Amino acid sequence: MTQTAIIVGAGLGGLAAARGLEAAGWQVRVLESAQEARALGAGITVTGNGLAALDELGVGDAVRERAVRALPEGILTDQGSPLQQQLQADSSAVHAIHRATLHEILRGDREIETGMRVVSGTDASGGGRASVTIEHGAADPDSSDARSERERRKDRARGTKLGRRIHRALEPGDEPIDRKAESRASKAQVRAVEDARFETLEADLVVGADGIDSAVRQALWPKARTDYSGATAWLGVVQAEADSPAGPRMYLGRGAEFGMEPIDGGRVYWWGMSFARMGRRADDEIVAALAQFDDWAPEVRDHIAATPQAGIIRRDLFSLATRLRSYHRPGVVLVGDAAHAMLPTLGQGGNASFEDAATLGILLGDHSLDQALLEYDRERVARTQRFMTISERLARTNTRMRNPLLVAARNGLLNLTPELATEIAGDWMLAWHSPRHTS
């Protein structure tokens, strides 16, 4: 009998996991809380390990065809002076691509069930099957409809046909249920409303691929906590100009870093990270980003200024502060940011997700479900948590280092580090080996 899986989250990690499981012969449903399945963010750098995983998932050649292959140009000071050159070898090459393009490749002609917000989940430890409870038609919290959805929730809370059980599913901060209305609501009325809005779905395996704020993780790993990094980031995509880089380039300054690289469509993806208080926003984020990087190299300012207002994204940077001992429960497994959300300083968040997806699919094809999940932990926990640790260390030397003397010392160390030593240090990271080749 074909085994079934529910994948929660239709981002890059979720779609990659869907491909891996289907290749192993599983029947898959992909659920997405947003009203529209789309890629969040701007560009992504696919390094050698990520590309090897995408090869296992059957889309590596499609990525090579559409991405921009380039050699890193190295690290510069905020004024544009060279700090560290990258070794110009084929092993250092990366493939840079817009997230929307990669999302399209991974999705193919797949059907995604949208508007399916997970509100709770159970594992299979009780002897049954794993399950998720979803709310139909929930608004994407990032969409323009979110405010009206919250208002509708308040209206329902004040209404006449909702009881206490429905109140538990309301968002924190919603108005309490009118007690008189609650008393008038019969059990049948409450059950009818609940049945219409909520549904429990079961499967042999539930895959939590729903990001750093994973509902699956919150349900089954309730003690796991996220942490603010102390930095905010601006992301943008612009058309390539004469001063655009031919490959990935990074600038390091005092309490900030900036990077840019060419991506598909003749475009350049740029990102800027800076020490900042959590939750700060500006009416004009282009102006805010220019103010942060106003005394940096001219090409940095040029690329920010060329970004259309609708094309800039700002987000505070969080990571998963809790190191999970295991990425699975009976009948449930986490992939990508749901399992090991890391800071973007190492550039391995997406690549690690592709490794997760390929590894999980291969193991499920070669082993029973329980054994595959045990092997998945052996393959993924130590490696991804090493990524997390290095990302955190890099953040301390980049966006958190504000003392001018320490910044000068960091720059001097980078200037003295041989290119070959840097290449060797990164070899372990890029050398992902498929379980298919090691088992």
Q: Is 209 among the domain residues?
A: no
* Shared domain check, 392 and 315: yes
The residue among 346, 325, 322, 439 whose CA lies nearest residue 398 is: 346
Q: Are strands 130-136 and 198-203 parallel, antiparallel or unpaired?
A: antiparallel
> Within this chain, do residues 231 and 199 fall inside the same structural domain, yes or no?
no
3-state class (DSSP) for residue 229: strand
| Whether residue 186 is found in the same domain as residue 282 | no
Could you tell me where the beta strands, DSSP code E, fall in 87-140? Answer: 94-98, 116-122, 130-136
**Whether 79 contacts 296, CB under 8 Å:** yes
Q: Which domain holds residue 10?
A: 4-110+223-438
Q: Please indicate, yes or no, if residue 208 is contained in any of the structural domains.
A: no
Q: Which of 41, 12, 30 is nearest to 118 (CA)?
A: 30
The pair of three-digit structure tokens given for residue 38, joined into one six-digit string: 């789309």
Q: Which two tokens stand for residue 142?
A: 């990032």
| 218 within some domain | no
Domain count, the chain: 2
Residues 278 and 387 in one domain: yes
Q: Judge whether 117 lies within some domain.
A: no
Angle (CA) 212 141 260, round 5°:
55
Q: Is residue 432 part of a domain?
A: yes
Q: Do 424 and 300 fall within a single domain? A: yes
What are the φ and ψ backbone dihedral angles of 394, each rounded to 5 degrees?
-65, -35
Tell me the CA distances in angstroms from 83 to 61, 73, 74, 165, 170, one per residue in order. 34, 11, 8, 60, 52
Domain annotation covers residue 215: no
Angle between helices 349-366 and 48-56 (to 10 degrees): 30
Domain final position from 173, 203, 233? 203
Whether 56 and 159 share a structural domain: no
List, in order, residues 6 or more apart from 354 with CB less than 8 Å away.
12, 13, 16, 46, 50, 53, 54, 57
pLDDT at position 146 is 46
pTM of the model: 0.84
Say yes or no: 190 and 231 in one domain: no
In this structure, what CATH number is given to the domain that contains residue 271?
A: 3.50.50.60
Residues 66, 181 within the same domain = no
CA dist 423 and 166 (Å) reads 56
Q: Which residues lie closer than 8 Å to 69 by C-beta, 6 or more apart?
A: 93, 94, 95
**Whether residues 184 and 64 fall in one domain:** no
Position 206: which residue type?
Answer: V
Cα–Cα nearest to 134, from 32, 51, 52: 32
Among 203, 235, 265, which residue terminates a domain?
203
The single-letter code of the amino acid at 229 is S
Is 280 in the same domain as 350?
yes
Ramachandran area for residue 362 (φ above 0: left; ψ -120 to 50: alpha; else beta)? alpha
Residue with tokens 């510069």: 76
Identify whether 125 is part of a domain: no
pLDDT per residue rounded down to tens, the chain (439 residues): 789 999 999 999 999 999 999 999 999 999 999 888 888 789 999 999 999 999 999 999 999 999 999 999 989 999 999 887 765 667 678 999 999 999 999 999 999 999 999 999 999 998 889 999 998 765 445 444 444 444 544 444 444 333 333 434 444 444 454 555 555 566 666 666 556 678 899 999 999 999 999 999 999 999 999 999 999 999 999 999 989 999 999 999 988 999 999 999 999 999 999 998 899 899 999 999 999 999 999 999 999 999 998 889 999 999 999 999 999 999 999 999 999 999 999 999 999 999 999 999 999 999 999 999 999 999 999 999 999 999 998 888 877 777 787 777 876 777 666 554 455 556 667 888 888 865 5
Q: Are 313 and 235 in contact (CB under 8 A)?
A: yes
- Whole-number Å distance between alpha carbons of 254 and 276: 12
DSSP 3-state assignment of 81?
Answer: coil
**Predicted pLDDT of residue 39:** 80
* CA 77 distance to own-chain centroid: 28
Strand pairing report for 313-320 and 267-275: unpaired
What pLDDT is attached to residue 362?
Answer: 97
Q: Is residue 343 part of a domain?
A: yes
- Where are the alpha helices (H) located in 260-368, listed in sequence order? 285-292, 298-305, 337-340, 349-366
Co-location of 293 and 401 in the same domain: yes
Instruction: Give, as one character, the DSSP assignment of residue 113.
Output: B
| 118 bridge partner residues | 134
Same domain, residue pair 67 and 161 = no
Q: Supply the pLDDT for residue 427.
A: 66
Task: Give me the pLDDT at residue 420, please.
Answer: 45
Domain endpoint, select from 175, 203, 231 = 203
Say how many C-beta atoms besides its own lie within 10 A of residue 144's C-beta.
Answer: 8
Q: How far apart, in whole angstroms, are the C-alpha atoms of residue 17 and residue 11?
A: 10
